[in-house]
Structure 1
Amino acid sequence: MPSAPSVRSPLLDRFGRVHTDLRLSLTDRCNLRCAYCMPAEGLDWLPRTELLTDDEVVRLVRIGTMRLGITEVRLTGGEPLLRRGLPGLVARLSALTPAPELSLTTNGIGLARCATALREAGLSRLNVSLDTLRPERFAEITRRDRLADVLEGLRAARAAGLAPVKVNAVPVRGVNDDEIPDLVAFAVEHGYRMRFIESMPLDAQGAWDRDRMVTAEEILDRIGERFALTPIGREGNAPAEEWWIEGTDSVVGVIASVTRPFCGTCDRVRITADGQLRNCLFATEESDLRGLLRGGADDAAIEAAWRASMAGKGPGHAIDSAGFRRPARPMSAIGG
């Protein structure tokens, strides 16, 4: 039986940042092979026995919401739609008291089949990755010919009421950066919220090249060639800076993790699919919550380990410093 909850207090680090947003990976597997993320042959996936079970996921989220003040949970991967029984897991998480706001990041493949079930289970909103609108380019970037499935998934998400449907794109110089205005126009036309993300050194093959990264300033310049923008700023601790697209009801966002880091207001904590707690996306150390779960630890011990990890969080990722160290795990294994 779980121990009685302690008095809830904020999940603080030594810089006074309060963490309320949990990014929880459900699998490291993915059905795409995006060139900026992993090699064509894929990666060595985690054995299923090492993944958190549904019961373990629910317990960790319950500890987070009841004891640590977590209010938002984003389900990530790999590709979270590959998790068997996902609507049932979402329903269990949405039934917790207090219930977190539940969202999901997906590549959209398979979304058309489950968007309504996820909405009915309690999912509030989602982000869909889409780097190009051109079928041949999509196949080149992802090494899979699945653009039609992603577009169908976007339509299904909107019809299911998973609003706002956010579309995430990672512009890469010489690959898809010429489509930035087209992606914005697509989002405006269909009622999606477009967001561009600066590429980060989190690919499995270690091939990230800053010279190929399209900066936030360049992204905004490209958008400005076709649309007039009015700055909105940043909503709370959200990672995206946003602009209203004049003459429309649409908003476009830019996540500039490299050139305009927002580490000073970061409120996020991550748990990998195998139950390792990471206090920063670029952390080089992890805390083993799965080991505590399977070793019989009570809720108080897991809470203490969680708080201890967050207390050791650094001031920022320091990508531009000489001492920057890439994390051993790529993004697909960490969870977005």
Structure 2
Amino acid sequence: MTPQQPLIPLRPVADIPPAPASASGIVPQSSDTTLQDTHGRRFSYLRLSVTDVCNFRCNYCLPDGYQCSDTPEPLSLDEIATLAQTFAALGTRKIRITGGEPSLRKDLPEIIRILKNTAGIEQAALTTNGYRLSKQIDDWVAAGLDQLNVSIDSLDPQQFQAITGHDKLQEILSGIERARELGLTRIKVNAVLLKTFNESGLSQFLNWLKTTPVTLRFIELMQTGDNAEFFAAQHVRGEDIKQQLLQDGWQPKLRGSHDGPAQEFYHPDFSGQIGLIMPYSQDFCKSCNRLRISAQGKLHLCLFGEEGHELRPLLHYASADIQQHIRTLLGQKKESHYLQAGRTGAISHFAMIGG
């Protein structure tokens, strides 16, 4: 898909009113009903993919670009509303909109608004590659966006283009500045660590954080079904970065109840903070608090799980039935992703279910 291609068409749907409960009677329950698996982990965070289409060609994800497929159309607004209400009733308090690239959906502001108007959902977040950020951030904030994550794998324009296939770095940085002007304070920048592309750019990122109040998150490259050779050549250990930060005076930060798996650090001399996502670290999965829904409505218990579980056909059933089905499925969640053992599950690239 090229950047000039039209936005993804969607079915017309009825407006979703900002009511505390849906017509089906789904209402959020008390926090003691929060989803819990057989390993004692509680799940208050949902990553909701709204499309698997992406217009970037990141070398660690879609080096050949998005390949069109015959998969069903993405979740409609009504289906998204039902899912949000269902998971809110199960104790979900944060929903992150992911892709592919979510901004390729022309109704993204409506999706944000639906999540914000769902009783029980406290945080509506968005992860984007930033391609449309400077043009659309005003609409996203007006719809109620609480948190923004933007992928920037290098602050060097040439390296950025080499990784993503697009010369958009300065425009994306301008979009982040506009988000700050609009009062959005919860901004994170994601960078996948790559040995021959951006590992040497750590100092450039640190200089940027001196005066920029964002959280920069370094993500350790993970092996998927399609990238074994690339992974072997480019993998950088997050633990090495962590030890360097500690030696340079960075201090660990306490993890919030709905935060993802990043270990975050702050430094008194820096306006920004740093997070490290290290899936190969010991006990990484013990802090898991998230579930994933694909753009076609499948529940993924783990990013590296063997399969997705169909929820879409159930969305017209009674809410109690859907909730019980989700609880039953959660009993199948494994203790670990076993990524350290070389298992990559069914995932071939991260655009499939939003990372």
Q: CA deviation at 1:52?
A: 0.6
Partner Cα separation in structure 2 for residue 314 and residue 170 of structure 1: 26
SS in 2 for 1:127: strand
Match of 2:195 in 1: 173
- Asked whether the equivalents of residues 27 and 119 of structure 2 are also in contact (C-alpha less than 8 Å), the reply is no
Q: CA deviation at 1:14?
A: 0.9
Q: Tell whether 2:68 aligns with 1:44.
A: yes
Change (3 A) 1:320 1:270: same
Q: CA deviation at 1:101?
A: 0.9
Q: Deviations over 1:43-65 (max 9, x none)?
A: 23465x53110110011001110
Partner Cα separation in structure 2 for residue 126 and residue 92 of structure 1: 17
Identity %: 33
Q: CA deviation at 1:40?
A: 2.1
Choose which of 230, 242, 264 in structure 1 pairs with 2:286.
264
Match of 1:229 in 2: 250
Choose which of 257, 277, 281 in structure 2 pairs with 1:255.
277
Change (3 A) 1:150 1:115: same
Map 1:1-336 to 2 at 5 A: 2=24, 9-45=33-69, 47=71, 49-66=72-89, 68-202=90-224, 204-210=226-232, 212-221=234-243, 223=245, 227-236=248-257, 238-293=260-315, 296-321=316-341, 324-336=343-355
Q: Deviations over 1:92-144 (max 9, x none)?
A: 22112123311111111111112122112111011111011111111111112
Change (3 A) 1:303 1:249: same
Partner Cα separation in structure 1 for residue 26 and residue 272 of structure 2: 46
Change (3 A) 1:212 1:117: same
Partner Cα separation in structure 2 for residue 90 and residue 249 of structure 1: 28
SS in 1 for 2:35: coil
Change (3 A) 1:4 1:175: closer
Q: CA deviation at 1:298?
A: 2.2
Q: CA deviation at 1:165?
A: 1.2
Partner Cα separation in structure 2 for residue 247 and residue 200 of structure 1: 31
| Structure 2 residue identity aligned to 1:319 | L
Q: Deviations over 1:3-33 (max 9, x none)?
A: 5669652211111211100000111111110
Partner Cα separation in structure 2 for residue 205 and residue 240 of structure 1: 23
Gaps of 5+ in 2: 1-22
Partner Cα separation in structure 1 for residue 67 and residue 226 of structure 2: 8
Partner Cα separation in structure 2 for residue 208 and residue 4 of structure 1: 45
Partner Cα separation in structure 2 for residue 4 and residue 90 of structure 1: 19
Gaps of 5+ in 1: none
Change (3 A) 1:290 1:329: farther
Q: Deviations over 1:218-244 (max 9, x none)?
A: 22355578x531233544453111222
- Asked whether the equivalents of residues 28 and 46 of structure 1 are also in contact (C-alpha less than 8 Å), the reply is no
Partner Cα separation in structure 1 for residue 143 and residue 70 of structure 2: 27
Change (3 A) 1:247 1:39: closer
- Asked whether the equivalents of residues 223 and 344 of structure 2 are also in contact (C-alpha less than 8 Å), the reply is no
Q: Deviations over 1:172-213 (max 9, x none)?
A: 111110001211221332222111110111374554424521
Partner Cα separation in structure 2 for residue 224 and residue 263 of structure 1: 23
Partner Cα separation in structure 1 for residue 26 and residue 63 of structure 2: 46
Number of aligned pairs? Answer: 330
Partner Cα separation in structure 2 for residue 332 and residue 206 of structure 1: 17
Partner Cα separation in structure 1 for residue 170 and residue 273 of structure 2: 24
- Asked whether the equivalents of residues 181 and 223 of structure 1 are also in contact (C-alpha less than 8 Å), the reply is no
- Asked whether the equivalents of residues 212 and 271 of structure 2 are also in contact (C-alpha less than 8 Å), the reply is no
SS in 2 for 1:217: helix
SS in 2 for 1:259: coil
Q: TM-score, normalised by structure 1?
A: 0.91
Q: TM-score, normalised by structure 2?
A: 0.86
- Asked whether the equivalents of residues 26 and 86 of structure 2 are also in contact (C-alpha less than 8 Å), the reply is no
| Structure 2 residue identity aligned to 1:20 | S
| Structure 1 residue identity aligned to 2:149 | N
- Asked whether the equivalents of residues 56 and 65 of structure 2 are also in contact (C-alpha less than 8 Å), the reply is no
Change (3 A) 1:28 1:53: same
SS in 2 for 1:50: coil
Partner Cα separation in structure 2 for residue 287 and residue 39 of structure 1: 28
